[in-house]
Structure 1
Amino acid sequence: MASRGAQQRVQVLRALRSDPVGLEGLREAARGRGGLCPDLRPLVWPRLLSVDPAIRPPRPAPPALQDHRDRGQVLLDVARSAPRFPPGMAAEQRGVLQQQLAGLILHVLRAHPQLHYYQGYHDVALTLLLVLGQRRAAPLLEQLSMHHLRDFMDPTMDSTKHILNYLMPLLQRESLRLHDFMQRAEVGTVFALSWLITWYGHVLEDFHHLLRLYDFFLASHPLMPVYFAAAVVLHREEEVLGAPCDMPSLHQLLSRIPPDLPYERLVLRAQELFQRHPHSRLAPRHPKSIAIRSFGAFQRAASHQRPDAVLRRQRRGSSRAGGDADATPLPSAGPNPLVKAAVWGLSATLGAVALAVTHTALDWGPEFLLRLF
């Protein structure tokens, strides 16, 4: 494990320092066995979404200061998010983070009026919040909302149904027996809806498994969560075929993801499915999906990112010329500076409550401190 982590750090740091940034190397690390080391996620996730991690965006305003048409539903969903927080967290600490979560979601929705909130969006936002902190999570959530999650944020479910409709053709090409059994049961694909719109955040209890999937999805095509869903169902083929062939029984079985899935094998199988069955063959007509249509342009833009050292020099030059440089250095990949940065950041912004969070979080280690900064 230590050897893999050391090799990955060398690979990631080399990719981050190359000009342009070695995006394919970062994707390879995120997709590879085990995903990213925890302390590398704050460095790599922004680059995977073409977000400059050296820019310190403004902190989203508290939810009480933000008005939006979906504010009531956002607050209800955030209030119900308690089970998603790390076990053992004090209610006061969780309350602070829930306020940040609501403020983060409303910030993105207000900045992009064309986006419509859906129940489950808060699960995605919470994962980013726990890994990156509210301020650094905001631009990543915006990018995800405008690209990978864009189809789920339409005013109607038409685009979401289009995404779900890729699942059955995948199953048909891999196992006609399984596909026909599910067709006879008329189970449909609704069982996978919460998987896709939350990137499995609503159905996975183990946070480390969830983060591993986020590494994978952030480094992949927007349809990869569908391919992963197909891998999960195919893995459970014998279990499904042994169930009663009726909609209620099969829906109940499929909608519950077992806790002991072999995630690395499923990630590998999802990638193999993506290679064998390109989405263009599954839906030969012009795709309705905004995320699919815009992905090529998104990838091309991401491939031109400059390394942080170059961006800092440019900003210093701009500042000397009278510009407004807004840059902060990237955190070190080692754990000690990250712990210090997290403690300083929390102490400066949240006061006594933050210090309580920090002292409790020390039991969870530097990764959790990173999530709070």
Structure 2
Amino acid sequence: MKTSNAVTASAPVNGQQGNDWDSRWQKKMSDIAQALQASPVDVAALRRMAISEGGLLTDEIRCQVWPRLLNVPQHILDQDPETVERDNNKDYNQVLLDVQRSLRRFPPGMPDEQREGLQEELIDIILRVLKNNPQLHYYQGYHDIVVTFLLVVGERLATALVEKLSTHHLRDFMDPTMDNTKHILNYLMPIIERVNPEVHDFMQQAEVGTVFALSWLITWFGHVLSDFRHVVRLYDFFLACHPLMPIYFAAVIVLYREDEVLECECDMAMVHHLLSQIPQDLPYETLISRAGDLFVQFPPSELAREAASHDCMATTTFKDFDLASTQQRPDSVLLRRRKQKQAALERSVAGSTVTQPSVARRFVRLAVMGLTVALGAAALAVVNSALEWAPKLDLFP
């Protein structure tokens, strides 16, 4: 039984209001309902809805759609959570400490009794998943992901969804060492270099590394964002996409802050401090769209050699996940949108009088960001099915 209705995001997190959004909100609600009622369920359409502006809109919709995005069978969703034995559990003490420190992750004003009950459920979910999957190892920050699912879908569904997520998208983070987590972080700089070599070179000169993005990655930004609406909007997006999408979103945040970064003193401590303090007023819809563009433009297979010489487990397990979820790929959504934006961008650049190379590069970057806002939702809306694009993207090295 769901114990909390922590958030109902009935409008985009960037605050668009008015009759135009009301109309699109109603249309999207109708499209989601139609996809859920289809036989079989139109998971490709649900992925488009999760990626496009506003995400999945409400917690009630997420309760229905998130299981579809993770391909969790109904019989597993219907199972009641098993009793968890806490005594002599090797992870219990650390989990308890982390959960006790998670007060800010609960809605302000929630009665203490309700919050304490949810914290007990949070502990049980984590211990239950770890007990059923002894190959998984708890890490600090895991509870930030689990609490998001608990607040949105309740204990029963959260248990099933977190278990599936932990054995696929989060699998690298749950190794006994941080080697695979570091490997995923290694994708960050190659993405930044391809988009903005100046920012990349500045960060390299400052020797800032990528540790500033660690908490972003391993909590899916749940630990660093104060507004729960922003967190669940990102979860909609990440659940609909490849497991490495969070690192693309991290790169987009750095790129968005280009001016701040380049104006900072080129010192490791100074740059690390700047980047680790994530702004709370980011243009989330713009950045989500841009992250999708970069994923299609620079897929993991293209970056793998620079990131490391071996595959990370997230992409390896995603192959198995993909085989069981052939209609759940977001790639055609992102590809179609990028093609439309690229055509519009080429027309804009062709009609401009910019001649200096540095100015031209700046113009292109700004134009891409502008087109993301202008065309993102519209381009998504005209994509009829993820299966219409027959060839599959070569996502893996």
- Deviation, 1:56, is 1.7
- Deviation, 1:67, is 4.5
- Deviation, 1:259, is 1.1
Letter in 1 for 2:272: H
What does residue 206 of structure 2 align with? 185
Matched, 1:146 2:180: no
What does residue 78 of structure 2 align with? 56
What does residue 34 of structure 2 align with? 14
Give the alignment of 1:147-296 within 5 angstroms. Answer: 147-284=168-305, 287-296=310-319
Change in CA separation of 1:141 and 1:67 when aligned onto 2, cut-off 3 Å: farther
User: Any conservation in 2 of the 1:20–1:303 contact (CA below 8 Å)?
Assistant: no
Change in CA separation of 1:34 and 1:271 when aligned onto 2, cut-off 3 Å: same
Letter in 1 for 2:79: P
Change in CA separation of 1:191 and 1:47 when aligned onto 2, cut-off 3 Å: same
What does residue 2 of structure 1 align with? 22
Letter in 2 for 1:9: M
- Deviation, 1:101, is 0.3
What does residue 151 of structure 2 align with? 130
- 2-structure distance, mates of 1:224, 1:46: 19
- Deviation, 1:288, is 2.7
What does residue 336 of structure 1 align with? none
Change in CA separation of 1:20 and 1:66 when aligned onto 2, cut-off 3 Å: farther
- Deviation, 1:65, is 4.1
- Deviation, 1:216, is 0.2
1:108-132 Cα deviation digits (max 9, x unpaired): 0000000000000000000000001
Matched, 1:36 2:56: yes
What does residue 370 of structure 1 align with? none
Q: Determine which structure has greater relative contact order: mean sequence separation of CA pairs < 8 Å that are 6+ residues apart, divided by chain length.
A: 1
Letter in 1 for 2:46: L
1:266-309 Cα deviation digits (max 9, x unpaired): 0011011101111111113764311101213212313479xxxx
- Deviation, 1:21, is 2.2
Letter in 2 for 1:259: Q
What does residue 313 of structure 1 align with? none
What does residue 351 of structure 1 align with? none
Change in CA separation of 1:202 and 1:60 when aligned onto 2, cut-off 3 Å: farther
User: Any conservation in 2 of the 1:66–1:103 contact (CA below 8 Å)?
Assistant: no
- Deviation, 1:20, is 3.0
What does residue 371 of structure 1 align with? none
Query: TM-score, length-normalised on structure 1?
Result: 0.79
What secondary structure, in the 3-state scheme, does the structure 2 residue paired with 1:68 have?
coil
- Deviation, 1:71, is 1.2
- Deviation, 1:9, is 2.4
* Unaligned 5+ runs, structure 2: 1-20, 329-397
After TM superposition, the runs of 4+ consecutive aligned structure 1 residues lying more than 6 A away are: none
- Deviation, 1:252, is 0.7
What does residue 320 of structure 1 align with? none
Q: Aligned match of 1:301 in 324, 339, 351?
A: 324
Letter in 2 for 1:99: E
Letter in 2 for 1:8: K
Aligned residues between the structures: 304
Change in CA separation of 1:287 and 1:8 when aligned onto 2, cut-off 3 Å: farther
1:209-262 Cα deviation digits (max 9, x unpaired): 111000000000000000000100000011011111111111111011111110
1:166-190 Cα deviation digits (max 9, x unpaired): 0000011111110010001100000
Letter in 2 for 1:248: A
User: Any conservation in 2 of the 1:128–1:137 contact (CA below 8 Å)?
Assistant: yes
User: Any conservation in 2 of the 1:120–1:202 contact (CA below 8 Å)?
Assistant: yes
Pick which of 85-94 and 64-73 moved more. Answer: 64-73
- Deviation, 1:53, is 4.7
1:6-36 Cα deviation digits (max 9, x unpaired): 2222222222233332111010000000111
Letter in 1 for 2:78: R
- Deviation, 1:66, is 5.7
* Unaligned 5+ runs, structure 1: 306-373
What secondary structure, in the 3-state scheme, does the structure 2 residue paired with 1:133 have?
helix
1:341-360 Cα deviation digits (max 9, x unpaired): xxxxxxxxxxxxxxxxxxxx
Change in CA separation of 1:66 and 1:14 when aligned onto 2, cut-off 3 Å: farther
- 2-structure distance, mates of 1:218, 1:198: 13
Letter in 2 for 1:57: Q
User: Any conservation in 1 of the 2:184–2:312 contact (CA below 8 Å)?
Assistant: yes
- Deviation, 1:52, is 3.1
What does residue 47 of structure 2 align with? 27
1:91-122 Cα deviation digits (max 9, x unpaired): 22111100000001000000000000000000
Letter in 2 for 1:184: Q
Pick which of 13-22 and 215-224 moved more. Answer: 13-22
Pick which of 18-27 and 145-154 moved more. Answer: 18-27
User: Any conservation in 1 of the 2:304–2:311 contact (CA below 8 Å)?
Assistant: no
User: Any conservation in 2 of the 1:47–1:302 contact (CA below 8 Å)?
Assistant: no
Letter in 2 for 1:302: S
- 2-structure distance, mates of 1:304, 1:234: 32
Change in CA separation of 1:225 and 1:66 when aligned onto 2, cut-off 3 Å: farther
